[in-house]
Amino acid sequence: MKKIIKRTILITLLLALALAVAYFVPSIIKVLNLQKEAIAIVKSSSKSTFMETKTTIVYDAYDEELCQIKNIKDMYYVDFSEIPETLADAFIVMEDHDFYSHKGIDYKAIIRATFVNKQRGEIVQGASTITQQLARNIFLSQEVTWDRKIEEMFIAGEMEKRYSKDQILEFYLNNIYFGNGYYGVEAAAKGYFSKHVSELTLPEQAFIAAIPNGPTKYNPLTNFENTDTRRKLILRKLYDDDYISSMTFYTSYHEEVVLALADNSEVSDSVATYVRHCATESLMEAVGFTFRYNFDSEDDYNSYMDMYDSYYNRYQQMLVGGGYTIYTSIDRDIQDKLQNALDEGLSGYTEVSDEGTYKMQGSATCIDNETGNVVAIVGSRSQDGPSLGLNRAYQSYRQSGSAIKPLSVYLPYFMKGHFPEETMTDEYIPGGPLNADRSYAGEMTLADAIKYSKNTIAWKVYQEVTPQVGINYLMKMGFKKVWYDKDYNAAALGGFTYGVTSEEMAGAFATIANDGMYRKATCIRKIYGPEGKLIRDESERGGRVYSSMTCREMTEVLQTVVNGGGTGGAAAVDGWEIAGKTGSTNSDKDLWFCGYSPYYTTAVWMGYDYPEQIHGGNATTIIFREFMTQIHEGLVHKSFPQAKHNNSGNSGNTNNEPATINPEDNTEYQEPGTDGTTGSANSGTTGATGSGTTGTAGNAGNQGTSGTTASSGNRNDNATMVYPGTDVDTDVSGYQDKDAPVRGDADAGTIQ
């Protein structure tokens, strides 16, 4: 009996061992193969390996080469002896404190990071050494898998055997990404300070060392304060670890850093920056990243942005010099016409900043209504020499004024079953907004309230719609920073905490032109990988936001804004139906025109990077008119589809209408095939509220408080003004004071 038991136990153990071997052996073989592959990779490498690059080719709407995206590390590679010691030290203290003592893998750092991340409940600290980062950037993809991580560790170990520490640091500093197309310390020094890396001062060294940790978050062109804050952190770390003296620390800490940007057309070109941005986000979507626009709190938003920046930086690095083939919708002829129209429209503003950049700036985005694709985008005025490299069309958040009313006030109201022929009373509202001239027209239709941009009626309508629902419509169309305002009534008049971009406004107005179907604004058609495999096709994106009938009736109303004696008469294009809306802020600090024809949608903004009053009138209508006139030459005439009115005059939402998005459903807009992310909106509404800081171009974002907004003061002198009190310029003031009074002033000029 005992023999049987022993035999049974032995057989069981042997079976267990056999199963264990069967289970683990393939994994062990896989690991050994990864090690063998790592040895071969490093053995075949040399210094030239770390100087090689691949070129990404970009094609325009007609499949002709538009530009190339590539890093320039081969042109700016520098030997270790040319790199300031303190610059190398800055990366060591921030990225890999034990760089000179470990063998490629820092096991203490792994244990420390595991402990800290477990305590925080999220990944807040990494454990990759400088050698591992170099291995990943040169030899491996950026995808996050266990196989890649294991191979990365093997390669790092082999590199430590083949190369000296100084060589590894030299390779690393010549390959790390510094944003805006700059790879390596020499390229960064040339790009941001127009000097060799060996000539950088210590404050400048610490400044560029701050960027690679998050090339988006610490982009000097758009987030200078973030970069400078991290610069000071690096200097303190160098001092705390005895790399610099106390005197050097204090003088460097308080020394002001001033950028001296290189004249680099690829960096400052609106098309190149936008293509790179759109392609990066397309690659993120291709791997399943879900874009969010609604958040519960600042912490929720910051957590998302940390994840966004991580993905964005990873896939932008893959894109730049990765050998991709990108097909875009950019039409070079239309692009040139848009740039020229903007330049000509703002040519009267000649004042420049200390850096030599025009103080008066503008942005514009044009979308093909048939495809929803961006065919032209302009982020700044043309000028010789270096510029900020800032594409204001998608990077600058500005107050919208009344240009937002059709999107978040009236269309949501029509979606509830109301219609333009309904009447409301234009009257003084205690604690509410004023009309620009302090006069009121009494009873009027909603159509005329839109036509003459009446603040009082927009305010009343927004109370019925509720801020949560109104803002939710904007979030479903990809507006990135309006979530802050989902409880505040100031958004009824375009008073936002941060604001909107011309790209977002063009995408939203194109949704009206497209019968309520929203398609995320992008210039990407298709992306192919280095091996020729299709990675992303953007042709099938889209989702319904409004019903087609409400959009068609809104189009009829917005045509009267342009051709019926409304505020946008100066934007009229001879021989073509144009629908659109003007917008301006208090004292005309931001001026807009957003409009569309049956063919194209265009949004134009003008203003100062550091907001101040604009004198001379609203040139955006003139820019729009001149541009749209040119691009419609030779096109077959086409009219807008008509709304089907019933006996009461209401186009209504028929049972045959395609299912619309529930305006009170906070599910994030998502492209087909991706997982949505839900963020809830807080319930309840507030009384008269304030706006926030003015979202401005780049680093200028927090200058003063915004008092925003409402519609523009454009007038057609040939038109008869039926109603007095047209909204020119209303100020909803009181950032972080949500009970602040609402006041108005009327400084906007007119322009023909």
Taking the CB of residue 302, how many other CB atoms lie within 10 A of it?
Answer: 11
Residues 6+ positions from 174 with CB-CB distance below 8 Å: 50, 51, 73, 76, 77, 78, 183, 184, 185, 186
Specify the DSSP element, H or E, that contains 94: helix 85-95
Residue type, 116: V
Residue 653: both structure tokens together: 């939402």
* Residue whose entry in the numeric block shows the structure tokens 């609106």: 270
Q: Is residue 402 annotated as part of the catalytic site, yes or no?
A: yes
Q: Is residue 95 annotated as part of the catalytic site, yes or no?
A: yes
Q: Classify 460 as helix, strand or coil.
A: helix
> Counting Cβ atoms within 10 Å, is residue 578 exposed (0-12), middle (13-18) or buried (19+)?
buried
Radius of gyration of the chain (CA): 29
| Contact call for residues 325 and 57 (beta carbons, < 8 A) | yes
Taking the CB of residue 175, how many other CB atoms lie within 10 A of it?
Answer: 22
Residue type, 536: R
Annotated catalytic residue, options 45, 128, 363, 402: 402
Annotated catalytic residue, options 45, 95, 503, 553: 95
Residues 6+ positions from 619 with CB-CB distance below 8 Å: 345, 346, 362, 591, 606, 751
| Contact call for residues 605 and 502 (beta carbons, < 8 A) | yes
In 3D, which of 600, 562, 565 has the Cα closest to residue 578?
562
| Burial state string for 230-241 with b = 16 or more CB within 10 A and e = fewer than 16 | bbbebbebbbee
Q: Classify 52 as helix, strand or coil.
A: coil
Residue 626: both structure tokens together: 């001149």
How many residues does the structure list for the chain? 752
Q: How many CA atoms lie within 13 A of 660 on its CB side?
A: 23
In 3D, which of 376, 380, 390 has the Cα closest to residue 358?
380
Residue type, 521: A
Distance CA 601, CA 521 (A): 11
Which residues are part of the catalytic machinery? 95, 402
